[in-house]
Amino acid sequence: MAATPDGCVHYVRSCLLKAPCCGKFYVCRLCHDGEENHQMDRFKVREVKCGACNTIQEAQQTCKECAVKFGEYYCDICHLFDKDKKQYHCQPCGICRFA
């Protein structure tokens, strides 16, 4: 599934996540899980592919090659890229939550 300027039906983002389980690129873990017979562990994601220039790189908020911002919000623990919905990473819960 290709990344678009709008991401997918689940998230607004400009990158694809490299699934650590199978090495395939998907816009999000939910898209991955819907197409594969296994689940992707978002916490183990280490690489992303830029939706604009296709550069594969370490997971980060901005493309190292073309400077496209992958998401207004980025959590380097959950590897969540999305538009800003007032999210935050909840340490006790271990996941991102909405304010």
d(CA 70, CA 59): 10
pLDDT band at 4 (very low <50, low <70, confident <90, very high): low
In terms of residue numbers, what domain contains 37? 15-70
Count of domains forming the chain = 1
User: What are the pLDDT digits (tens) for 16-34?
Assistant: 999 999 999 999 999 999 9
Q: 85 in a domain, yes or no?
A: no
The 10s digit of each residue's pLDDT in 39-87 is 999 999 999 999 999 999 999 999 999 999 999 999 999 999 988 899 9
Residue 18: the pLDDT is 97
Note whether residue 91 is domain-resident.
Answer: no
Q: Is 77 part of a structural domain of the chain?
A: no
* Domain presence at residue 90: no
23 found inside a domain: yes
Q: Is 30 inside any structural domain?
A: yes
Report pLDDT for 99.
Answer: 83
Domain presence at residue 92 = no
Please answer whether residues 10 and 28 qualify as being in contact, where contact means their C-beta atoms are separated by less than 8 angstroms: yes
In the three-class reduction of DSSP (H, G, I as helix; E, B as strand; rest coil), residue 32 is classed as helix
